[in-house]
Homo-oligomer: A and B are copies of this chain.
Amino acid sequence: MNITVIGLGLLGGSTALALKENLPESRIIGVDSSQQHAAQALTLGIADKILPLKTALEQANVVIVAVPVNTIVQLLPKILSTISDNTVVIDLGSTKERICQTVQSHPQRGRFVASHPIAGTERSGPVAAFSKLLPGKQMIFCDREHSDIDALEKADYLFRNKLQMQVSYMESAAHDRHIAYVSHLSHISSFALSNAVLEREKDEQSIFKMAGSGFSSTVRLAKSNPTMWAPIFMQNSQNIHQALSAYIDQLQQFRAWLEQQDEAEMYQWMENANAIKTILSGIPTEGQNKT
C-alpha cells in the first residue's frame, strides 16, 4: 500500500512512523514544502521517498494530509481532483467544519474522511515525530455520512486496527464547538500566561528560578508552533470567542472576589474546579504530573 503523507512534521511524521511500524507492507511517500523537512524525514526513516505533490498523489492508495488547517483548505480540492477513484484521503486538522464545507460539493467528496486525532505535543517538525504519538489515543471521524463506505472502512482499518486508536464519530460543527473548549482554549490560556509573565519579568530573568513544575505545566503549550495555531484560531474563531469569553468571565469573577476579600466564594470556586480530577483520570497522562 502506497501511503502519501503531505506534511512531515510532528503529526504527519508520527503517523508515518506508526504506520511503518504496524503495517510493514506500507510504503511512505513524503511530500513537504520545506526541503529541509523533507531531507530530515528521509534521514529519520519517516518517508521511504520524497516526491512532488502531483506524482505522490498519482501513486497513492491513501493520502494523509497533515499540514496547517489553512493549507488543508487550499490543497484538499486539488488533492481530490488529482487522485484516482479508489484512493482515500484523510486529513488530521484540528478544525473540521470549514474543511468539510470546502469540499462539500466536490465530485470526489466521498473519497475524503475528515479526521482529528487527539494527540500532539508542543514540539514541531520531523525531529519531534515519534511512532507512539497516536497509538492508544482518540481518533474522531467527522461527517461520516459524506464519506464512501470503503473510504471510512480504510480509515478505520488504519487508525483503529493498525494504530490501536479509539475511534468515535461526530458532526463537524459539534466537533469544532467542543474542541474550542478542551483544546484551543488551553493553548490560548498558555500563550497568554507566557506573555503576561515575560512582559512583567523581562528585566529579571533570574526570577524564573522561582518557577516550579506548576508553572511549567500551565505554560507548556506556549511553546507550540504559531504556523499551526494561527490558522486554527482563524478557522474556529466564533467557537473560540465564546470559550475565551467564558474563561475571561471566570477570571474576572475571581478578581472581583479578590477585591472583596471573599474567601468563601474563592474556596467554593476552587472546590468546583476540583471536579476535573475525576474527569481527567480518563485522559492519557502525557504532560501530566507523573507523581
Given A214-B187, A217-B221, A283-B215: A255 and B276 within 8 A (CB)?
A: no
CB distance from A170 to the nearest CB of B (A): 8
**A130 → chain B closest CB, angstroms:** 6
- Which B-chain residue is minimally distant from A140 (CB atoms)? B210
14 sample A-B contacts, Cβ–Cβ < 8 Å, listed by A number: A137-B212, A138-B212, A186-B219, A190-B273, A192-B273, A196-B243, A200-B243, A212-B284, A213-B285, A223-B277, A226-B266, A229-B270, A233-B263, A286-B290
A256 to chain B, nearest CB (A): 10
Is A222 engaged at the interface, CB distance under 8 Å to the other chain? yes
Indicate if A53 sits at the interface (CB-CB under 8 A): no
A149 within 8 A of partner (CB): no
Contact B287 A258 (CB under 8 A): no
Q: How far does the alpha carbon of A104 sit from the alpha carbon of B255 in the complex, in Å?
A: 30
Instruction: Give the number of times this chain occurs in the complex, counting copies.
Output: 2
Q: With both chains docked as a complex, state the minimum distance between the C-beta of A176 and any C-beta of chain B, in angstroms.
A: 11
A54 contacts B by Cβ under 8 Å: no
The verdict on A286 contacting B213 (CB below 8 Å), with A185-B197, A246-B196 known, is yes
Task: Tell me whether A36 is interfacial, beta carbon within 8 Å.
Answer: no
State the CA gap A116–B203 with chains docked (Å).
23
The verdict on A247 contacting B291 (CB below 8 Å), with A219-B280, A255-B241 known, is no
- A59: chain B residues at CB < 8 Å are none
A188 interfacial by beta-carbon distance below 8 Å = yes
CB distance from A260 to the nearest CB of B (A): 10
Binds B, one of A18-26, A41-49, A118-126: A118-126
B234 touches A273 (CB 8 A): no
Q: Number of contacting residues on A, CB 8 A?
A: 106
Q: Does A86 contact B (CB under 8 A)?
A: no
| In the complex, residue of chain B having the shortest beta-carbon distance to the beta carbon of A279 | B208
Residues of the B chain whose Cβ atoms lie less than 8 Å from the Cβ of A222: 270, 273-274, 276
A154 CB within 8 Å of chain B: no
Tell me whether A118 and B211 are in contact (CB under 8 A). Answer: yes
Does any Cβ of B come within 8 Å of A252's Cβ?
yes
The answer on a CB contact under 8 Å between B119 and A192 is no
Could you mark each residue 188-220 of chain A with 1 if its beta carbon is under 8 Å from any beta carbon of chain B, else 0? 111111111111110011011111111111111
| A211: chain B residues within 8 A (beta carbon) | 118, 182-183, 279-280, 283
Q: Which residues of B contact A290 (CB under 8 A)?
A: 286-287, 290
Given contacts A230-B267, A244-B255, 4 further A-B contacts (CB under 8 A): A182-B197, A191-B270, A217-B218, A241-B259
Residues of B near A259 (CB, < 8 A) are 237, 241
